[in-house]
Amino acid sequence: MATIEFLLNGTPKQCDVSPDTSILTLLREHLGVTGTKEGCASGDCGACTVAISNPSDAQPHFESANACITPAHQLQRQHLVTIEGLASGAQLHPAQQAMIDAHGSQCGFCTPGIVMSLFTLHTEQQKCPTPLTPERLEASLGGNLCRCTGYRPIRDAALNMLQTPWESPQWLDAALPDTASPANAHEIAPNEAFFAQPTTLTALTKARRCYPNARLVAGATDLWLENTQRLAVLDQLIDVSHVDELHHIEEDSLHGQSGWWVGAGVTYTQLEPLLNSHFPAFAHLLHRLGSQQVRNRGTLGGNIANASPIGDTPPVLLALNAWLELANHDGTRQVPLDTFFTDYKRTLLAADEVISRIFIPKMDSTASLRVWKLSKRREDDISAVLGAFCYRLEEGVLHDVRIAFGGMAATPKRALKTEAALEGQPLTKASFQSAQQVLSDEFQPMDDVRGSQHYRHQAALNLLERLYLTLSAPNQEVMLHAYAH
């Protein structure tokens, strides 16, 4: 047990909770505040959506999160806003009123979560209005499942609520009493449970060395499922999310190649502006990665260190020839990403190491990137197959071809033989047909809940055909608008 202090709807709270307590458990079981609901305890339904801001920010910036898989300890000195906080007496928040007016609730169980997602959208729009495109609405609400309404009235509520400004209540500016030293700063006994929150890379690597059995936690969007779904005890946790060095994005070069060093603790939401400007295909993928709640918490480093064969960003980073910087208490080393994944869920990362930064090389102005994700559902789903294709097309000939797949092997993996089959080849049907034959033998994908082996195999071949069609018949529609970018 350790004490956390935070604001709950403007009221300072102090709670003693174990390291693996979620915000949802804290609310429902410790505090008896039950407006926030549990639908799945896996971050997939959004019924438990809450909003979190940092009270030390000049202007409150609320981000949505799934309370069921967000560690309560990450509330340390944060402001947690829940469904109970939105109404001031009889005066409802515009999101609440709009939901009523649009008949947006039926059974009502998902409603608190939907209102909270609308709340964060509303506050963002009030601060910085941007066009509410269908994509924007999807990004804001795709992580909130509703089984009753079919979403039409919720869409109406989202559009209508913005006509009413929110007069933010005074408690929104509440501050926490100052404390002399951060909690958890004391020395930790070897078997003691803890939730360490180092603030520097040095402190992080030191903690990593001292507690080799402790787990690293960033956004917890996957780790926490070990607790909620498989009941793993997560009693020694080192939180990387407060480490300053892990949050920077810097333009720099590596081995003479210019690009960006992205801190491993950068969340998907924080990564978005860079990708929008320089890697639109990657940015588009990001919109289909998890939900807003997940993108607000999940980090690029976490997605790589997790080493899942169906993680979304690794195949893209492989195709882009990304590098990693790994740090321990003695220093850092740099490794190409395509050597990092050694086997199913295994990596080069030593027991005392962390991923500190990811280098994403700038793309040559003549180079192109295509990223295609196949899944059962367009939003908030995990890939069955993900193909990332990087290449240059010069005078009808393919150069610098790098292709990587997710979902086709035990790790995210480059298609080296297929790359070789296309390298230096003219853009012809014959080139791609022979590349397809190579690809056909290069992978033996798995058969699982997300797709059969046969499907994955055929899908990868078809994505290669899509690449050919995209390049050879650029004026013809070969993709659906909802999936294209």
Partner 1 sequence: MRTLTKLDGDSSRARRELHDRVEGSGPLARHTVDSQSQRQAGSASFHESAEKHVTGKAAYVDDVKTPADALHVALGLSPVAHGVLTSLGLDAVRQAAGVIDVITFHDVPGHTDIGPVFPGDPIFVDQEISYAGQCLFAVAATSLEAARRAVKLANVEINEQHASLDPVAATQREEFVRPTHIQERGDWQQTLRQADNVLENELFIGGQEHFYLEGQACVVLPTEDEGVIVHTSNQHPSETQKLVAEVLGIPFHAVTVEVRRMGGGFGGKETQASPWACIAAIIARRTGKAIRLRLPRSDDMRATGKRHPFHNRYQLAIDRQGIIQGGEITVIGDCGYSPDLSDAIVDRAMFHADNAYSLGNARVTGHRAKTHTASNTAFRGFGGPQGMMIIEAAMDDIARRVGEDPLTIRKRNFYREGHDVTHYGQQVDQIKLLHTLVETLESSSEYWTRRRAITTFNEASPIIKKGLALTPVKFGISFTAQHLNQAGALLHVYTDGSIMINHGGTEMGQGLHTKICQVVARELGLDLDSVRISATRTDKVPNTSPTAASSGADLNGMAARDAASKLRERLFDFAAAHFEDGLDREGMRLEDGMLIAGRGESERRIPWGELVQTAYLNRISLSEKGFYATPLIYYNRASGQGRPFYYYAFGAAVSEVSVDTLSGEYQVDRVDILHDVGDSLNPAIDMGQVEGGFIQGMGWLTSEELKWNDKGILISDGPATYKIPTFGDLPPIFNVSLLEGHPNSMASLYRSKAVGEPPFMLCISVWSALRDALSSLTDYATSPHLDTPATPERVMLAANAIREKAL
Here the tokens at position 402 are: 């790098």
Min separation Cβ 2 and partner 1, Å = 18
What CA–CA distances, in Å, run from 340 to 214, 246, 303, 411? 21, 19, 13, 10
**Which CB sits closer to partner 1, 171 or 455?**
455
E strand or H helix at 80: strand 79-81
Of 109 and 254, CB closest to partner 1: 109
Where is 464: in which H helix or E strand? helix 453-472
Nearer to partner 1, 236 or 375 (CB): 375
**CA diameter of the chain:** 70
Whole-angstrom distance, CA of residue 176 vs CA of residue 78: 9
Of 115 and 246, CB closest to partner 1: 115
Nearer residue to partner 1 within complex by CB, 198 or 311? 311
Residue with tokens 């502006």: 273
Q: Residue 243 in contact with residue 198, Cβ under 8 Å?
A: yes
Give me the least distance between CB of 351 and partner 1, in Å please: 27
Amino acid at 63: E
122 vs 294: CA distance, rounded Å: 19
Tokens of 371: 């990223």
- Least CB distance to partner 1 at residue 425 (A): 21
Within 10 A of 310 (CB to CB), how many other CB atoms are there? Answer: 20
Residue nearer to partner 1 on the CB measure, 154 or 326: 154
Q: Smallest distance, Å, CB 320 to partner 1?
A: 22
Tokens found for residue 318 = 């492989």
Minimum Å distance from CB 50 to partner 1? 11
| Strand ranges across the sheet with 236-239 | 194-196, 236-239, 215-217
Please, which residue, 378 or 392, has the CB nearer to partner 1?
378
- The strand pair at 2-8 and 79-81 is best described as parallel
Query: Is 324 strand, coil or helix?
Result: strand
Identity of the amino acid at 118: L
Shortest separation between residue 477's beta carbon and partner 1, angstroms: 5
Q: What is the Cα 289 distance to its own chain's centre? A: 6
Please state the closest distance from residue 148 (CB atom) to partner 1, in A: 5
**Minimal distance, residue 374 CB to partner 1, in Å:** 6
Q: How far is CA 169 from CA 85, 89, 165, 250, in A?
A: 10, 11, 12, 38
Cβ atoms < 10 Å from Cβ of 377: 9
Residue 185 or 473 with smaller CB distance to partner 1:
473
Cα–Cα distances (Å) from 5 to 2, 15, 275, in that order, read: 10, 7, 35
Q: Which is nearer to partner 1, 107 or 175 (CB)?
A: 107
Closest distance of CB 215 from partner 1, Å:
18
Residue in this structure with the two tokens 């080799």, named with its chain if needed:
212
Shortest gap between Cβ of 309 and partner 1 (angstroms)?
15
CA-wise closest residue to 305 among 251, 234, 246, 389:
246
Tokens standing for residue 128: 């910085």
Cβ proximity to partner 1: between 332 and 453 the closer is 453
- Cβ of residue 39: shortest distance to partner 1, in angstroms? 5
Question: Nearer Cβ to partner 1, position 208 or 456?
Answer: 456
